[in-house]
Amino acid sequence: MSIEIHGKVAPGFEPVADAFAENFAERGEIGAAFALHQDGETLVDIHAGHADRKKSRAWQADTLVPVFSTGKAVTALVMAWLVDQGRIAYGTPLAEVWPEFAAQGKDAVTLAQALSHQAGLPGIPDEMEPAEWFDREAIEARLAAMAPMWPLGEGSGYHPITFGFLADAAARRVDEKGRTVGGILREEIAGPRGIDVFIGTPESEHDRCAEHALPPRAPNLGTMNPYKEAAFLKPWSSPGRRGAAEWRKAEFPAANAHATARGITELMGVFANKGRLRDERLVSEAVIDEAMAERVSGPDKVLPFDLSLAAGVMINRGSGHYGPEPEAVGHYGFGGSCGFADPARGLSGSYVMNRQMDVLVGDARAVALIEAAYGCL
């Protein structure tokens, strides 16, 4: 039986809906949404399927879904806003605003280096309880005291959870109101415009959150090393033991954003449209260019790929993960979600879903949709 697709498809973009339907027919989709904007105009905004594993609750236009590391691109946007406000610069050492962070030779690590996974803190190797991640001050104290796992300047190593704590520590210390990344997102960017993207999802929104289905197996991380173990494989490598409601309400800027595809697409549009969001200038063109500038490239120490990393987003180059444009930027999240921005075409898009797969980046469902979209341009 064919899936019923709801939403908007601009004339000429029917192949995107076809690819979306094929994800349900051939790739085991439960519920999903995809959105595509160009120059701020909606080309595609579709959803289908179910918001729960039992398939008893239909996916709605406003269904929120955890997008995991796709939220790193949202955090990158919040940090760009702070840079544009003059509160911090990408070249500012974190220790300048967070003196304790200078311990163990980390005094030279800049904001841009932290956002491009060069700080040498991909995870916490010392034993702790998974619930300690919910104690922001305790984790910041651990990171401040920790010795980097490799010297600064020796490449990147993906920071799945700690990326968000480093960004948030800087944000709270430089924002004039002391707000978190999630607070700035809520009060300055998404909230005033009714954009459905949350880092720290209020309990009032939990009824519309989708239930995700875990992937069939763990992703392939390649040859094991201490960095990968700290980042992903310790019993305490990710937050736990507090329950789904507490996890949704907590702020993990690297890992627990909840959003609609439309919401992520709107925010990625700031990268695609020279700093503009809807009809407003959110961030200057110069700062957006800085945010998207390559900071490091080459073999990553944690993910089994060669990566090109900017200040919180990944640069497409020749990967094809975000379409054919080498300068496109974006981010994937655990299980398959993604958001991307193509500044050459003013194009932004997002794919979100609740059936997770064991692919770290370039999920076949997302790639099929992005390729179909470019084929329609």
pLDDT at position 44: 98
pLDDT at position 73: 98
Q: What is the mean pLDDT of each run of 10 residues along the chain (377 residues)?
A: 92 98 96 97 98 97 98 98 98 98 98 98 97 97 98 98 98 98 98 98 97 91 97 96 93 98 98 97 98 98 97 97 98 97 98 96 97 98
Of 161, 247, 240, 237, nearest in space to 211 by CA: 247
pLDDT at position 271: 98
Q: What is the pTM of this model?
A: 0.98
pLDDT at position 1: 54
What span, in angstroms and rounded, lies between the C-alpha atoms of 242 and 201? 15
pLDDT at position 333: 97
- Terminal Cα distance for the chain, rounded: 30
Annotation: CATH topology of 6-376: Beta-lactamase (3.40.710)
What tokens appear for 132 in the block?
A: 């300690």
Q: Mind giving me the DSSP string for 163-208? A: HHHHHHHHHHHHSTT---HHHHIIIIISGGGT--EESS--GGGGGG
Contact 232, 352 (CB under 8 A): no
Pairing state of beta strands 41-49 and 31-38?
antiparallel
Contact 336, 365 (CB under 8 A): yes
What span, in angstroms and rounded, lies between the C-alpha atoms of 162 and 137? 13
